[in-house]
Amino acid sequence: MTAVDTAPVAGRSGEAILVARDVTMRFGGLTAVDSVNFQVNRGEIMGLIGPNGAGKTTFFNCLTGLYLPTSGEVRLDGAVIPPKPRKVVLAGMARTFQNIRLFGNMTALENVMVGRYCRTTAGPLTSILRGPKFRREEASTRERAQELLDFVGLGHTSDSLARNLPYGDQRRLEIARALATDPKLLLLDEPTAGMNPQETRQAEELIFRIRDSGLAIVVIEHDMRFIFNLCDRVLCLVQGKALIEGTPAEVQSDPRVIEAYIGTGPEDSAELEKELES
Amino acid sequence: MRRPTIFTPELQQRHGKTGWLLGVGGGVLLALSALLPWSYSFEALDGPSLLFYPSPLQVMGLVLGLLVAVALVLGRRAGRRGRVQVGWTAGARAAAVGALVFVVIVLVSIAAELGGLVNVDYGGWVALVGALLALVGTRLQPAGRSATLYRAAARSWLELVAIVVVMAAALFGIAYALDTDDPGTFVSFVVFVGALVAVLVGLGVLGWLSAVSQRHRKVLILSAFLVAYLFPFTQDGSDANMSIATQVIVFAATALGLNIVVGLAGLLDLGYIAFLGAGAFVAAILSRSAFSTLDFHPPFIVVVLISGLVSATLGLIIGSPTLRVSGDYLAIVTLAFGEIFRITMINLDGEAGPNLTRGSNGIPAIPELNLFGFDFGEPHVLLGIPLGRFSNYYFLLLVVIALIILVFSRLNSSRIGRGWVAIREDEKAAEAMGVNVFGLKLFAFAGGAFLAGVAGSVKAHIDVSVTPDQYNFLQSAFLLAAIVLGGMGTVLGVLVGAALLILLPEKLRFVSEFRLLLFGLTLVVMMRFRPEGLIASRRRQLEFHEDDEGLAERIDDQIQPSAMKGATA
């Protein structure tokens, strides 16, 4: 079973799907993201790391259409992304949230079915008249949602309320809901936050499976071990600027990354703290 | 929500047996008291003053008393095995509380009608003592496990019989309630019905019934409408009750339209009555009234559509700029819109603007409807039973409300309904998952307005005249009250709410005098104890009790068996 309908095309793997060019985001005098260049290829897992306040989330919001970048552009599959989250989803980019934002009073299955909303078209009239189109679409929506629940390993909990699910399952349900929008690119905002090591390992395995089905994935994470295990390439943001981009090994051994996270000496760390506070 | 407990578990443990005896004894005593005179004069209520000849109210007391006793006796005998539990203790408790309230109301009514408690005969006091004993006795019983009768699957014919019995009881109850002219009897009857429902909830029968009704949806709906259609035949040609019934249905139809906006899409609309008014004015202007200001009189079917479309257009105009803001702002804007509508209608009198509505005089003398040669103003005789003017309109209104219910429930269980739930749950997340938040809100707003316009076009003909002052803010507030009282997002809840809000002032003088005070108080009490309304949808119940884990578990448990057949909760 694959998470997307289109099977991965070997020849196209490696081709850029998301390109961010010189993305800058200013809030008044504060430059949260400063001309960041970023590229994600098909079938690749890209990591985004950086200390707190480095502008990861702002950059993420620029990618998902929540913010319109002050300058620069983001292209998904060659087209500039529209500045509206809904249209970005339609264009093929889905996300999960750092603090889980499921529809708690809906069942797991219904949550995933909401994800199908943008790929279905039944309007008011056919919904009221219950024409053949409506019934066909409902059935296929339900089927696809169940398929995705099975894919993330939640097939047995489809009728449970989302708010009653254990924490790790909620994270996986959120991924299933995002997959339901038939994305080409999946953005995961701290997918393992608050997970125990075993759950983290399961999440890792799930993300690999999603990648194997042909999607590109961007992951924001604090857990270094997790991200260096997982990603093909890693981008490190510090103070809104791209510090380094490369393979996990390159990033891991780069002294500037270590410096950014831990600091080199008392003066530097004091400086960094001041920066962070401002 | 912590309430002080008088009957602590230790007390229950120690006096459980005594309590059981007390409860059964109290119940039997109450039942027997029905054979004794409750008042000295036959004038009081429905005449509970004869020895060994119980009046209907006394029979109700007897029923409640027997329910307490029987539930306690069966509760003792029933084993605690099996998957299916009947909530005998909870049922007995509900019956005891209901019986006490019922007896007190009856005694107070006797006192109020005849002037003083001296008019209560010994039977009344016996009944009171019985009810008190029953209450204390049932409270001394340890609370049993909650009922799980909804898990029980009976034979299909039994389930169908249950539906028929419920429907017949409803028809009989409504006819009886409408026939009582005496306020005390009416209130007592309402309390009795409430007590019965509470007992059914406690026993778990209501849970079973709702599971049954989910299995036999079509039968239920069909029989409900059959009962509604049979209702005029119980009135023997009298128009008095039918006039109230039409009022209830117009009100309920409008409230159902509003429930799409409030209950499903979660938008607070305080000016909804304006859409009803717009529909009514359009229908009045396009009617063949001598005071109509336009010389264009299409057939009624067309008028209905135009009314709906005009209202929907108004909804779009007011909705498209304001639905981007949320919550309180929307409430203020819609509140203002309601007033703007009324004042505009007053000003379209030929002086301040074009003469469309004849100002505050409105458009009177709207002719009776005439569809396919059927004159709605003429009484008809069917099966030897005369049906008056209001009965005719009542039949038409049933069609209208059926349509609105259809639209409501089908939208609710579709892709669009899921979108609405998602928006109510978390608007940002819904948008980020590709749900067209603004479009869905606007659709709810305009769709609700359309339905109100349709209802308004019929209302214009029933009311004969349309004036701007009929459509003031108070009416919007009452519509909203019906929804909050009855239950957001459910059809049955709104029907109950609308019926209560119209029936109580009609039947009780003191309620109609202190209408605002009483409804206000009721709403405050509801907000405190049951914010989701009398008959709430499961989802709404969950939304109002975000931190109640027990409730979530219970509902989770209830969804599972029904969901196996592919039904959505």
Structure tokens that stand for A242 in this block: 């791209």
Q: Which residues fall within 8 angstroms of residue B511, CB to CB, at 6 or more apart?
A: B504, B505, B518
pLDDT digits (tens, 9 = 90+) for B291-341: 878 878 888 899 999 999 999 999 999 888 888 776 788 888 899 999 999
* A117/B418 CB distance under 8 A: yes
Residue scoring higher pLDDT (B213 or A69): A69
The pLDDT-based confidence of A273 (bands split at 50, 70, 90) is low
Residue B1 domain-assigned (yes or no): no
Instruction: Check whether residue B107 and residue B26 sit in a common domain.
Output: yes
Instruction: Check whether residue B456 and residue B559 sit in a common domain.
Output: no
* A159/B568 CB distance under 8 A: no
Cα(first)–Cα(last) distance of chain B, in Å?
A: 27
Single out the residue of A244, A240, A277, A278 nearest to residue A259, CA to CA: A244
Q: How far is B408 from chain A (nearest CA, A)?
A: 9
The average pLDDT across B8-13 equals 75
Query: CA B146, B483, A115: angle at the middle one, nearest 5?
Result: 75
- Taking the CA atoms of residue B164, residue B166, residue B168 and residue B169 in that order, the dihedral angle to the nearest 10 degrees is 160
Domains and CATH numbers, chain A: 10-92+183-277 (3.40.50.300), 103-175 (no CATH)
Residue A24 sits at φ, ψ, to 5 deg, of -125, 135
* B407/A141 CB distance under 8 A: no
**Three-state SS at B363:** strand
Integer Cα distance of B277 and B264 in angstroms: 23
Instruction: Check whether residue B306 and residue B353 sit in a common domain.
Output: yes
Instruction: Check whether residue B315 and residue B213 sit in a common domain.
Output: no
Q: What pLDDT score does A238 carry? A: 87
Q: What pLDDT score does B419 carry? A: 94
Using an 8 Å CB-CB cutoff, list chain A residues near B428: 101
Last residue of a domain, one of B199, B229, B259: B229
Integer Cα distance of B458 and B253 in angstroms: 11
Last residue of a domain, one of B229, B264, B280: B229
Residue B158 domain-assigned (yes or no): yes
Last residue of a domain, one of B198, B229, B260: B229
The pLDDT-based confidence of B78 (bands split at 50, 70, 90) is low
Residue B204 domain-assigned (yes or no): yes
Residue B395 domain-assigned (yes or no): yes
Instruction: Check whether residue B309 and residue B361 sit in a common domain.
Output: yes
Q: What pLDDT score does B401 carry? A: 92
Preferred mutation among B264, B316, B407, B433 to probe A, highest tally of A CBs within 10 A: B433
Using an 8 Å CB-CB cutoff, list chain A residues near B425: 103-106
Q: What pLDDT score does B389 carry? A: 85
Strand order in the sheet with A216-220: A93-95, A185-189, A216-220, A45-49, A233-238, A241-246
Residue B542 domain-assigned (yes or no): yes
**pTM to 2 decimal places:** 0.82
**Which residues sit opposite B386 in a β-bridge?**
B381
DSSP B477-532: HHHHHHHHHH-TT-HHHHHHHHHHHHHHHHH-HHHHHTHHHHHHHHHHHHHHH-TT
pLDDT digits (tens, 9 = 90+) for B250-286: 999 999 999 999 989 888 889 999 999 999 999 999 9
The pLDDT-based confidence of A146 (bands split at 50, 70, 90) is very high
Integer Cα distance of B232 and B196 in angstroms: 25
Q: What pLDDT score does B348 carry? A: 85
Using an 8 Å CB-CB cutoff, list chain A residues near B407: 128
pLDDT digits (tens, 9 = 90+) for B28-46: 998 988 888 888 888 777 7
Half-sphere exposure of B45 (CA within 13 A, CB side): 31
Integer Cα distance of A214 and A184 in angstroms: 8
Integer Cα distance of B305 and A129 in angstroms: 18
- Would the pLDDT of A177 be above 90? yes
What is the β-pairing status of strands A45-49 and A216-220? Answer: parallel
Q: What pLDDT score does A115 carry? A: 92
* A113/B418 CB distance under 8 A: yes
The tokens 């609405």 sit on which residue?
Answer: B420
The average pLDDT across A152-158 equals 89
Preferred mutation among A67, A89, A97, A103 to probe B, highest tally of B CBs within 10 A: A103
Residues in chain B: 569
pLDDT digits (tens, 9 = 90+) for A94-114: 999 888 899 988 999 999 999
* A105/B566 CB distance under 8 A: no
Q: What pLDDT score does A7 carry? A: 42
Instruction: Check whether residue B368 and residue B410 sit in a common domain.
Output: yes
Note the Cα A150 to chain centre separation in Å.
20
Q: What pLDDT score does B562 carry? A: 45
B560 touching chain A per CB within 8 A:
yes
B550 touching chain A per CB within 8 A:
no
Q: What pLDDT score does A5 carry? A: 47
* A114/B426 CB distance under 8 A: no
Q: How far is B219 from chain A (nearest CA, A)?
A: 19
Find out whether B102 and B188 touch, Cβ atoms under 8 Å. yes
Where in the sequence is the domain holding B482, given as residue range(s)? 244-507
State the average pLDDT for chain B.
84
pLDDT digits (tens, 9 = 90+) for A210-232: 999 889 999 998 778 888 888 99
**Three-state SS at A80:** strand
| B-chain residue closest to A163, CA distance | B552
Integer Cα distance of B346 and A255 in angstroms: 78
**Maximum mean pLDDT: which of A198-207, B43-52, B145-154, B203-212:** A198-207
Q: Which residues numbered 429-448 in B keep a CB inside 8 Å of some CB on A?
A: 429-437, 443, 447
Number of structural domains chain B divides into? 3
Integer Cα distance of B139 and A219 in angstroms: 58
Instruction: Check whether residue B345 and residue B219 sit in a common domain.
Output: no
What's the CATH code of the domain at B388? Answer: 1.10.3470
Residue B522 domain-assigned (yes or no): no
Instruction: Check whether residue B17 and residue B59 sit in a common domain.
Output: yes
Structure tokens that stand for B87 in this block: 């909530």
Instruction: Check whether residue B254 and residue B121 sit in a common domain.
Output: no
Q: Write the residue in A94, A107, A141 that is nearest to B559 by C-beta.
A: A107
Q: What share of chain B in percent tops pLDDT 90?
A: 25
* A124/B411 CB distance under 8 A: yes
In the 8-state DSSP scheme, what is residue B464?
A: S
State the average pLDDT for chain A.
85
Cα(first)–Cα(last) distance of chain A, in Å?
A: 49
Residue B235 domain-assigned (yes or no): no
Alpha-carbon separation of residue B203 from B89, B143, B168, B209 (angstroms): 8, 12, 21, 11
B567 touching chain A per CB within 8 A:
no
Q: What pLDDT score does B1 carry? A: 43
Instruction: Check whether residue B122 and residue B171 sit in a common domain.
Output: yes
Instruction: Check whether residue B342 and residue B433 sit in a common domain.
Output: yes
Integer Cα distance of A74 and A39 in angstroms: 10
- Would the pLDDT of A2 be above 80? no
Instruction: Check whether residue B432 and residue B399 sit in a common domain.
Output: yes
Q: Which residues fall within 8 angstroms of residue B170, CB to CB, at 6 or more apart?
A: B227
Residue B348 domain-assigned (yes or no): yes
Q: Which residues numbered 368-427 in B keep a CB inside 8 Å of some CB on A?
A: 406-407, 410-411, 414-416, 418-419, 421-422, 425-426
Lowest mean pLDDT among B3-7, B69-73, B122-126, B469-473: B3-7
B5 touching chain A per CB within 8 A:
no
pLDDT digits (tens, 9 = 90+) for B151-175: 777 677 888 888 888 888 888 888 8
